[in-house]
Chain A
Amino acid sequence: MSETGTKLTAEEIKQSARETGIELTGEWLDDLVDGSAFVIWARRHLREMSEAASQAEMSTCRPT
């Protein structure tokens, strides 16, 4: 799945939904393309938070 754009493509969204048993078409699919901007942002932001937390934790340790 695309991690570089600001939104997912309609095909990516369709495939993800199909994997959970949902068939997306028409307006529903079009709406989710817009909504996927939040998904992309949240995913990136949580990953960055996680990496920052890991680095902070590592900085509290030293090799023995």
Chain B
Amino acid sequence: MPSDLTSEVPSLAEAARQIRSKRLSPVELTRSCLDRIAALDGALHCFIRLDEKGAMASARAAEQEIARGGYRGPLHGIPTGFKDLFNRRGMVTTAHSRSRIDAVAFADADVVTRLDAAGAIDLGKLAMHELALGGPSFDLPWPPVRNPWDVSRFTHGSSSGTAAAIAAGFILAGPGTDTAGSIRGPAAYCGIAGLKPTFGLVSVAGTVPLSPTLDHAGPMGWTVEDCAILLSALIDQGGSEPSAHLSSLQDGVKGLRIGVVRHFYETDHPVSAETREAIEAALDVYRALGAYVEEIRLAPLADYAAAAGVIMVCEAYQAHLGTLRENPQLFGRIFRNRISLGALYHSDDLSRAYAARARLKAAFADQTAGFDAIVTAVVPSTAPLIDEVPMWPTVEKPSLLSPFNITEGPALAVCCGFSKNGMPLSMQVAGRRFDDALILRIGHAYERAVGWRGKRPPARSTAKALAGNEDAIGVTGDR
């Protein structure tokens, strides 16, 4: 295994170009991903269930179909995987919880159906935070996912397996879910791109729910372009024309107005100096590309955090109340505790939270009028050590992620550099509802102008961690 994975792992977009022109074999590509998983996932724990045989059979079928002239599009022959929250017919959907150890799905999730139809190669089910809320947890049947940039560090959650697997080159892209930041947080800590699309744009049918009025599904990939390709497949309506998410991707940012929400990350939830400096440098890139950058004020982060926190917990509590009453021991400590707060809220609290959401959505539309997008922080710093993650959200540090679950518009995490200790830094580009194509375009313009996508996590350090913990970690073919 080389010390740097860059030379081996293409982006989804690059792999698709090579597969289409028959310069890359889906079988070879899938084999290389499986080899990487065999070498490194014992340290990272991305996969709950790896289907090597099924993946190779699908890759061979894709190769034959493409050879016969049946190329389906840019996901054909591309290795992917599914957060174990998405149903696959006939398979257990654990949602990384002992409480669902026997929950066999009787139908595919819409997301699974769409990626199957696009010809993607399913490598298996990916680890996550328990039921998309509790983690990192050390008391579940599967260990928490480790960060491929440094295995002692947190991945964020809940789409942790998907983000780490993309960064490590186990898969090229995959769908995640985002109720309060579960696509963007892991994308940020793992140094990839992740888009929480407009609420409802990607179907969540067949996905284990957490908070139905806040749950989103969306794409995660090594690059913003990869996210655009995946999003197009996830919402494909069957037409022959490329969707707007791809057709406008190369249009640049010249003349666009970008609002920078500094109060989010300077006063409401102060971030690290490195994060602040990386965002300022990214804004300079946008200026150099011809965009206008101006400061903009939104409602305080605390307003969004209060509304999102109450709605999410109350809805999740209702979803899991039966198990909480009858078999609470089936939950890990963190998930059990976090949803139990639902017992402490009153109906008045939830009513006020719903009303606050409506006001915040309306205010956001007014405050961002005249702007094409906003830029702010996505996480306060680089990934912390995995054993230093607090159980409870703190009042003093409201989430930088939840505002856009409240406003329901697109929000994209984009890698914007690296810290002195080599961990990824990230920024958030967000917009109004259904401006997903515009947000992807703005993220892509930045990514093309800088060189961050040339650097992959160092495989050698992960392999070293594995060698030092072989007995404790264990590697099996079916996880």
Given contacts A13-B344, A17-B343, contact A35 B392 (CB under 8 A): yes
- B321 is contacted by which of A20, A24, A27, A37 (Cβ under 8 Å)? A20
- A43 is contacted by which of B305, B324, B336, B345 (Cβ under 8 Å)? B345
Residue of B nearest to A47 (CB): B352
- B356 is contacted by which of A27, A39, A46 (Cβ under 8 Å)? A46
**Neighbouring B residues of A32 by C-beta, 8 Å:** 337, 340-341, 344
**Neighbouring B residues of A16 by C-beta, 8 Å:** 343-344
- Are A38 and B303 touching (Cβ within 8 A)? no
- Are A37 and B395 touching (Cβ within 8 A)? yes
Interface string of B319-351 (1 = CB under 8 A from A): 001001100100001001110110111100100
- Are A31 and B341 touching (Cβ within 8 A)? no
Chain A nearest Cβ from B305, distance in angstroms: 8
**Neighbouring A residues of B346 by C-beta, 8 Å:** 43
- A53 is contacted by which of B306, B307, B359, B395 (Cβ under 8 Å)? B359
Residue of A nearest to B393 (CB): A38
- Are B341 and A38 touching (Cβ within 8 A)? yes
Interchain CA distance A42-B337 in the complex, whole Å: 17
Does B117 interact with chain A (Cβ within 8 Å)? Answer: no
Interchain CA distance A22-B391 in the complex, whole Å: 21
- Are A8 and B344 touching (Cβ within 8 A)? yes
Interchain CA distance A20-B359 in the complex, whole Å: 30
How many B residues face the partner with a CB closer than 8 A? 32
Interchain CA distance A9-B352 in the complex, whole Å: 24
- Are B349 and A46 touching (Cβ within 8 A)? yes
**Neighbouring B residues of A21 by C-beta, 8 Å:** 321, 325
Does B309 interact with chain A (Cβ within 8 Å)? Answer: yes
Chain A nearest Cβ from B194, distance in angstroms: 26
- Are B302 and A45 touching (Cβ within 8 A)? yes
Q: Which of B274-311 contact A (CB under 8 A)?
A: 302-303, 305-307, 309-310
Residue of A nearest to B303 (CB): A49
Does A11 interact with chain B (Cβ within 8 Å)? Answer: no
Interchain CA distance A49-B393 in the complex, whole Å: 20
Chain A nearest Cβ from B388, distance in angstroms: 16
Residue from A24, A42, A50 with most neighbouring chain B CB atoms (10 Å): A42
Given contacts A20-B321, A45-B302, A49-B306, contact A39 B344 (CB under 8 A): yes
Does B353 interact with chain A (Cβ within 8 Å)? Answer: yes
Residue from A17, A20, A45 with most neighbouring chain B CB atoms (10 Å): A45
Interchain CA distance A11-B321 in the complex, whole Å: 21
**Neighbouring B residues of A34 by C-beta, 8 Å:** 391-392
How many A residues face the partner with a CB closer than 8 A? 28
- B392 is contacted by which of A8, A13, A38, A49 (Cβ under 8 Å)? A38
Residue from B309, B341, B343, B345 with most neighbouring chain A CB atoms (10 Å): B343
Chain A nearest Cβ from B452, distance in angstroms: 35
Chain A nearest Cβ from B133, distance in angstroms: 13
Residue of B nearest to A56 (CB): B359
Residue from A34, A49, A53 with most neighbouring chain B CB atoms (10 Å): A49
**Neighbouring B residues of A24 by C-beta, 8 Å:** 340
Does B355 interact with chain A (Cβ within 8 Å)? Answer: yes
Chain B nearest Cβ from A2, distance in angstroms: 11
Interchain CA distance A56-B87 in the complex, whole Å: 46
- B306 is contacted by which of A22, A27, A28, A41 (Cβ under 8 Å)? A41
Q: Which 9 A/B pairs are nearest by Cβ-Cβ distance?
A: A46-B352, A45-B306, A41-B395, A17-B343, A42-B306, A31-B337, A39-B344, A21-B325, A20-B343
- 20 A–B pairs (Cβ distance < 8 Å), ordered by A: A17-B340, A17-B344, A20-B321, A22-B343, A28-B336, A31-B391, A32-B340, A35-B391, A38-B309, A38-B394, A39-B345, A41-B306, A42-B309, A42-B353, A43-B346, A45-B302, A45-B303, A46-B352, A46-B353, A49-B352
Given contacts A38-B309, A42-B309, list 15 more A-B pairs with CB under 8 A.
Answer: A16-B344, A19-B343, A20-B321, A20-B325, A20-B343, A22-B328, A28-B337, A31-B337, A38-B393, A38-B395, A42-B305, A43-B349, A49-B356, A50-B356, A53-B359
